[in-house]
Structure 1
Amino acid sequence: MLYRIAEPNDWQHARQTGFFASADLAAEGFIHASEAHQVLETARRYYAGRVDLVLLEWDEAALATAGVRVAREWVENRQQHFAHVFGPVPLAAVRRSWPFGADAVGDFAMPAGISAPA
């Protein structure tokens, strides 16, 4: 599974249109996604203090079936490979979604049922 920390407006738009897309797809040609073990660090780095986000779980096999290419590419400043999704994500590939945000002290936690090292 792949994970995307999403802006509420992007998720709302996806539910209306049937496809998730975000500003990074238009600007960079792909949607940034994470493996479970990368989500919390991504949240800390790029979404500090946010309480209004949505965490989406995407089925990589469903993306492939829909013809959406996923490539793991090296991200130098993180020293890791990250999944880049080259196209809008059909809602059929979204397995689960959760409200996602920092708690009162600014920490993020993975939803129950997803294990990821801190």
Structure 2
Amino acid sequence: MKSEPAHPGAPARLVHLCSREEWQTAQREGHRIPDGFAADGFVHLSTPAQVHLPADRLFAGRTDLVLLTLDPAALGAPVEWEPGVPTDPSSMLFPHLYGPLPVTAVTAVEDYRPGADGTFPARH
């Protein structure tokens, strides 16, 4: 996968999905390192407008998720914009944080639940 070091017109906010329990653990530890971090080498992030894609793919039916809103300037590690999976739109790039996610970069936490049809909404 080819990565791009910067994303033209990068949004002022990025988001990250995790369970409430994972968020509570991150608060105690001061950072979030997801289970897949060792294998992937990065923390999966999204823009608010694209967060529904990984949510529907990875967390179908879950009602224990929180959406962490992040200040990109406070992440403390490089963010690379890279392709998602083959079923995502071909031009869509996702932000990947190449380091732990510091809780100090989180500016808001909200429940993120699927709608009545079971799919997650995009955020704006």
Normalising by the residue count of structure 2, what TM-score does the alignment of the two structures yield?
0.79
Give the match's secondary structure for 1:38: coil
Bigger proportion of residues as strand: 1
Give the match's secondary structure for 2:26: helix
Give the match's secondary structure for 2:51: helix
Aligned to 1:51: 63
2:106 to 79, 94, 102: 94
Aligned to 1:82: 94
**Alpha carbons of structure 1 residues 40 and 76: separation in structure 2 relative to 1, 3 Å:** closer
Distance in 2 of aligned mates of 1:49 and 1:106? 6
What is the CA distance between 1:51 and its match in structure 2? 0.5
Aligned to 2:118: 106
What is the CA distance between 1:30 and its match in structure 2? 0.3
**Alpha carbons of structure 1 residues 17 and 105: separation in structure 2 relative to 1, 3 Å:** same
Percent sequence identity is 36
Normalising by the residue count of structure 1, what TM-score does the alignment of the two structures yield?
0.82
Give the match's secondary structure for 1:36: coil
Bigger proportion of residues as helix: 1
Distance in 2 of aligned mates of 1:91 and 1:51? 22
Q: For structure 2, list consecutive stretches of 5 or more residues without a partner in the other structure.
A: 1-12
1:73 to 69, 82, 98: 82
Q: For structure 1, list consecutive stretches of 5 or more residues without a partner in the other structure.
A: none
